[in-house]
Amino acid sequence: MEILKIKGGARLNGTVKAAGAKNAMTKLLVASLLSDKKCTFYNVPNIGDVEVTVSLCQEIGMKVNWDREAGCMEVVTPELKTAYVPQRFSGSNRIPILMIGALLGRTDQDIIVPTVGGCAIGSRTVDFHIDALRKLGASIEYREMKREGAYFAHAHNGLKGTIIHLPYPSIGATENTILASVTARGMTVIKNAATEPEIIELILFLQKLGANIFYDVDRTICIQGTRRFYEVEHTVIPDRIEAASWGMAAIASKGKVFVEGAQHYNMITFLNKIREVGGGFDIKSNGIEFFYDGPLQGGLHLETDVHPGFMTDWQQPFVVLLTQASGSSVIHETVYENRFGYTEVLGSMGADITLFRQCLGGKECRFNAQSFCHSIIVKGATPLTGKEIKIPDLRAGFAYVMAALLGSGESTISGLHFLDRGYENLAGKLQNLGAEASRIKLEKNSSPTFEEIQKPSIPMVAEAQLA
């Protein structure tokens, strides 16, 4: 077991590089399974979710050469060894369900994937995925197995393009539908699709791979089916969530941090809110510099939304930022119904946060008149104190790290496997920015945790295997 110890009070100063986007790289790996051609990726993040996805893809036949230090990965899947994703990947992340869309056009076997996983931040139904894939001609059913359920899918008669209207612009459902449509006969039109930067990244990669694909301004994505593919070289976009995380930590700590690789275009909505609360930023040619620009002012109203709205994964550290702003601010979460569970720990550290079941905002919300606490009021500025903390999910994890940086005294943070899923070398980056932070491995005197048992090993693959 490892813990992160942080002594609060330091101002973050210096330069930090945003790693490649977790939510892009994991999906690109799955997309490469569509063909038997070599794909070379640059700016690959050395994080847990990529490790798990690599292991998953290797299980079904992918050959991988990953230079972690250089951030370069070569992959090729000449043939599928199996279309069965083992149950040990159940709950590891959200990637297994995307295997259905990627493999339907590549095999006549039954594709078997375990139930979905990820962070416990609310319901993530796969109904949208399944309904869309069925409209393309796939046969999908859920069956109970020995330990947990699994989805069985096949398309023995092939997939056929059609018009699909998603009830909600779900990122995962959009990705799954795109992947299946690439090898479907004819044209597929996806209406009300998600258009996040990571979706556009997937579209760009697939176009390089050989797909005839484009998107329109009204959330419409069109894919003309193909079976002709090419080798690809692709540089992964920087992670806009990590970039924003460092920006908020810099401002809240009254410091100045240049985030190399942060992209202005993909952070417009976030930057508007930073300016609204009184934080400073300066757009450079190769990144964004964030800095404290005087006392922070609350009185902010913020509603999370699908892109181009304010990203739900920016919300948690932004709440910590608001604890340092004078006045009351309102946040209305419209993407996930259970995303404010982390605020209880912030309250025990000194934050003044009140939860509401009502929609505190004008945006249409799926959780209206339900029993979910999906709105909060944050009152600041409040001093925070260090605490022993256990991380419940990835984005709450960075919020706790940020709170520990601001708090008086020392904080001890466990559950680091959540942070490792999305943040590369977090402790090292904190130290380089001047934080008093250290990652400590404790003596192992107990049985392994569930996460340690579930975490698959990633065998290194020789370069010769890619020939």
Residues with active-site annotation: 119
**β-bridge pairing 287-291 and 256-260:** antiparallel
Residue 239 annotated as part of some ligand binding site: no
Q: 338 Cβ partners below 8 Å, 6+ apart?
A: 120, 121, 122, 123, 372, 374
Nearest residue to 178 via CA among 230, 95, 101: 101
CB atoms under 10 Å from CB of 168, counted, come to 12
Asked whether residue 22 is marked as a ligand-binding residue, the answer is yes
User: Does the annotation place 313 within a ligand binding site?
Assistant: yes
Beta strand extents in 279-373 (DSSP E only)? 280-284, 287-291, 301-303, 327-332, 352-356
Q: Provide DSSP, 25-50.
A: HHHHHHHGGGSSS-EEEES---SHHH
d(CA 244, CA 288) in angstroms, rounded, equals 10
Only one residue has tokens 């990726």, namely 41
Q: How far is Cα 279 from Cα 179, in angstroms, rounded to an integer?
A: 40
Q: Is 420 annotated as a binding residue?
A: no
Residues 6 or more apart whose CB falls under 8 angstroms from that of 312 comprise 304, 333, 335, 336, 339
> Which residues line the annotated binding site?
22-23, 94, 313, 335
Query: What residues form the annotated binding site for phosphoenolpyruvate?
Result: 22-23
Summarize the annotated binding site for UDP-N-acetyl-alpha-D-glucosamine as residue ranges. Answer: 94, 313, 335
